[in-house]
Each structure stands twice: as structure tokens, then as C-alpha cells.
Chains A and B, each alone.
Chain A
Amino acid sequence: MPAIGKPDSFSWFRGDTGRYLFQSSIDVFNNNYSGLLFIKPLGNIRRIVFITETGIKIFDFEFSETGDSKVHYCLEAMNRKSVINTLLKDMSLMLYNIPENSNVKVMQDKGTGKMIFRLSDNYGKRYCIINREIQRVEELISTGAFTNKLNIKFFSTKISEPDSVILSHYNLKLKMHLINLNEN
């Protein structure tokens, strides 16, 4: 069983990877924003910038592996505390998967043989399903008291980068669909 190591050990967006550009659609509480989502690892931090096709910046967020995040910019139309906090939390999990100070229990799915981390931390309880062959996260499921809250799925035919990412909430009208534009 591999060591869990750093928060981005199994992440698709590790510090040693290049930049990513995704065609993106974000549904936030009955508003739909489409455009380009840009993810850039900068050492221990990650920067996510979302712009419309026409170049208008919608948000510019910064994340650190300690779980801190910073809003560099957010379009006034989207700049509501509840929206921002949810986006920051979701994207932090998408980037780092296994935050520091998480209680982690490593399990194995008997049927598929997949490695599963059961996590409990400031973000709540989660299951993180790992593709053992490529050592990358395949699916992340955040659970509530009675129902699942959040699901992040990573799809890829390659080792180095995800082809697409789908992030969806069960109880909130928030969904993101990212399609890799394969610049790397």
C-alpha cells in the first residue's frame, strides 16, 4: 500500500505538473457560466482562473495545500459568500483530495480491488477512490449525515492528465463540467 504522503499525492494537479486549460461549464444556483478554466500549480499553491470565451474574468482563486484559499477576484454577479465558500471548498478538494490533518483509513474494495481512503476532517467525511495503476484519484465522494453531498469524478485515458472532470452536488444547484483542451 503506497504512503499517503502530501495532500496532492494522488491528485491530477500536483505541483510538478504543467498548466491545464479546460473548456468549462459551471451551473451555480440557476445561472450558467461557460468559458475556460485555467489551473496552474505554482509550487505549493494552485491558482484557478475562470474566464468567459470572450475573455471576461469571472473568478481568480488561490489554494494552498494547508487548506487555505484566497479570492484574488470574483465577478460581482457571482460574488456571494455562500457561492464563493462552496466553490473554494469544492475546488480545494478537487486539487488536493486529501488535506493535511485528515483522519485516513485505507480500505480495499473487495469487488474491484480498488483502493479507497475514508477521510474525516474539516471538510466532513469523504471517500476517495484511487486508481492503483496510475496512482491518481478516480472519484471523490463527500458524505453527509444521511446522504451524499458532493461527487467529483475524474475521467482519463492517460496517466498525466484528466480528460474531463465532473463535480456535482446532490443537495445544491451547483455543477461543474471540465473538458481538457490538451495543451500540455
Chain B
Amino acid sequence: MISALKGPTNILELKHMNKLKIYFTGILLLISAGVMKAQDQVKPMSDIPGFKSKLEEMSKAVLSISCDFVQEKSLVVLSEKIISKGVFFFRKENNIRWEYIQPYRYLIIISNGQLYTRDDRNQKVYDIESNRMFGEMNKFISGCIQGDILRNDVDYATEYFENSSYYFVKLVPRDEKMRAMLYEVHIWFDKKDLTVSALKMVESGQDYTKIDFINKKLNTDIPLEKFSFK
């Protein structure tokens, strides 16, 4: 996804983005965006290599994540917020389930190279592998969950911060076209277990989407049925 948005060919693809692409972009942004739940003062990270090393260890050790999430869409100019809630499941390799429960049920599953969406009226399945961009997006998503995304210096300028409870990473897309849609991305990692606690996507107009991941459980047995398209 990252490199897909860089080159002119892929910018052309973006111009013709259909719903599927938006879904992917949405997931990408949700996962790469940061929520600042604990917004106490941050300072520049003192040991960036140490942080990256710990993140890599976490990535290897975590086989599954399940949690609740609260998504807040802020329309700044209108002084309005739209809150959505749901549950999130991840199981290695590359099985992801986003399940919105409020304000209405909406399900996104990525598994076995396919993306599935369902609401109360429609369900759709898309083949990720047949499209290079989607393939890269999928790789990117799992990379975010496991922290690999921070290795990508080509597409994002990355800044590292921390406070007593969190590591805070700010990603700024280098591509101008990308920045028109996504101005900045913030990711908050819990210092206790290095999992992503919060994501925030800031748009160019200062509207933003932020997601808090709460009640996290690591390495519980999540049955594969959770990722089947039923």
C-alpha cells in the first residue's frame, strides 16, 4: 500500500479507487492512525533501537490479539464526533477480524488472501492477491499490528517519542498525494507489552479518526472460525 501510493501508476489506481480500495484504505488508516488516549507530555524517545528491538520481540511472541475498540470520528469544523464500537481479532498469519457493533453491525474479515465485508443487507468477498496493491496493503496491515511498519522509512518520515506509559510514534507520509488524504499518523504502543493501544489518523483539514484498543488479550486461543466468511 505504501509504495502503491507513491508511483504515478498507483496514483492513477488511487484515482479509480472503488469501494474495495476504500475498505482497504480504511483499514490501513485505522491501523496506522493513532489515538492519544493518555496524552500526557511526551518527550523524544531516548532509546529508539531498544524500542525497535522490543517491538520485534513482541512481534515474534504474539500469536493472537483480541480486544474491544472505540472509534471516534471527529469533524472539527462541525464540532461533532461520531462514535463507533466493536471488537477486533488478530491471529497469525494475517487473519484479521474487525467487527463493528455500534452504531450498527458491520464486519470486515481479512483471511486467506481475501477480504470479506458484511452489513445487514450486503456481503462481499474480494480477492486480495489478484491486486498487487491490495496484497501490499494486507502486508502493511499485519505489519502495523506487529510493528514491522516502522521499518518503512521510504514512505513515511518517522518521529519517536515516549512518556511514562507509552511509546508514541508519529508517521508523516512523504507522498504529497497521500498527505492530501492522510496528513499524519500517530501510533501509541503500551510500554508494558508493546501492543498498539491507540491509533490516530489526522486528515489535512484536521478532522481525524482515532481508535482506542481496550481490554486487550494476547495469545488466547481464537478459533479459525472467527475468520471464516459465514
Contact = CB atoms under 8 A, between A and B. Distances in A.
Contact of B14 (A58, A72, A77): A77
A128 interface: no
Contacts, number: 85
A155 interface: no
B201 A55 contact: yes
Contacts of A33: 19, 22
Give the one of B71, B98, B103, B181 with max A CB within 10 A: B103
Contacts of B100: 53
Given A52-B23, A181-B103, A38 B14 contact: no
Interface in B1-34: 14-19, 21-23, 25-27, 29-30
B73 A77 contact: no
B26 A54 contact: yes
Given A38-B80, A40-B80, A181-B104, A75 B207 contact: no
B192 interface: no
A23 interface: yes
Contacts of B119: 23, 34
Contacts of A54: 23, 26-27, 29-30, 71, 98, 108, 209
Interface residues of B, number: 36
A38 B22 contact: no
B81 to A, nearest CB: 10
A36 interface: yes
A55 B14 contact: no
A3 B220 CA distance: 66
A123 to B, nearest CB: 26
A120 B15 CA distance: 37
B203 A57 contact: yes
B71 A55 contact: yes
The A contact surface, by secondary structure, is: strand
Interface residues on A, range: 20 to 34
Interface string A24-65: 010000011110101010100001010111111110000000
B44 interface: no
Given A23-B103, A77-B17, A181-B103, A51 B22 contact: no
A55 B16 contact: no
Interface string A5-35: 0000000000000010101010000011110
Interface string A71-87: 01101110000000000
5 contacts: A34-B19, A38-B82, A51-B73, A53-B106, A55-B29
Interface of A: 19, 21, 23, 25, 31-34, 36, 38, 40, 42, 47, 49, 51-58, 72-73, 75-77, 181, 183
Given A32-B122, A54-B29, 14 more contacts: A23-B104, A38-B82, A42-B78, A54-B27, A54-B30, A54-B71, A54-B108, A55-B29, A55-B73, A56-B209, A57-B203, A57-B207, A77-B22, A181-B103
